[in-house]
Amino acid sequence: MNGPTRSSTPSSAGLAGAGRPALGRPPRVFRGYAIDLDGTVYLSGKLLPGAADTIARIRREGSRVVFLTNNPLRSPASYAQHLTGLGIPAEPAEVVTPLALLTAYLADRHPGRAALTIAEPLVDATLAAAGIAVTTEPASAGVVVVSFDRTFSYAKLLSAFRAVRQFGAVIVATNPDPFCPTQDGGLPDCAAMLAALEACTGARAEAVLGKPGEHMAAELLRRLAVPASEAVIVGDRLSTDIAMSRSLGMTSVLVLSGATTGAELADSPHRPDYVIDGIAALLPAEPGEPASGPAARPRGSSR
């Protein structure tokens, strides 16, 4: 659809162009929305205020929606089912996760190589379903896959260490997130497991899939099917959501409902175009609604 052009007033695009985000809701509706899940649409599985209504309105406006997550603990079908249960109808094809990127990457770059994983069972099952052999023997592994793993153990680290250090396996990680936001403060994420393996082996991951990497970026644009200049990324993390928007030339909206606080925003080199308290303030105000919407509070916490 054709929305109003982006404002060029000092309070919006002018501030963003000067490297300072505009505090408050964007003044236009975009043709495409790439929306993060954890910390943006829901937190600890519970819907955040205004999420369902906002996404329903985006769709009524005729805009496309794609959901993004760096969390590999669910399949796209499971995410779609969860969203639908929260009142946001979704199809698996509307959800982009690192797991589909992982299988495509390994099939393309390391065909025929077996993978040893630091991961939860879903990752192993996804690889096996894609015809990629999964092994627990370091000598048999050509690739070590590192993911968000709540079952992480010394035994897993030791096997991966031997695969890399003694047998030359390469490292591929699903996502770069240091922690996953939750209502009680968060959970250590993939970057923590990856750091342990890199520290003991001296090797570095040859690829880290998911946001803000090139593989997730390419898949996002393919799914949205609108020009990057007509699309916006909405998320709660500066180093992934906002960084990826910059690399693609998309507009960015930071929500302070998840991983990032106002204080962290002030110190970050990643500058969003807009900053809002939560997804309820993502769209221009409707008649009878305050024009400014819920504004950001740069010095406050997101929770």
Q: Which residues are catalytic?
A: 36, 38
Give the span between the Cα atoms of 237 and 181, in whole angstroms: 10
CB–CB of 126/103 below 8 Å? yes
Tokens 């047998």 locate to: 167
CB–CB of 50/300 below 8 Å? no
Question: What type of residue is 37?
Answer: L
Give the span between the Cα atoms of 106 and 109, in whole angstroms: 5
Structure tokens at 107: 């099939």
Nearest in space to 67 (alpha carbons), one of 96, 39, 93 = 96
Give the span between the Cα atoms of 140 and 133, in whole angstroms: 10
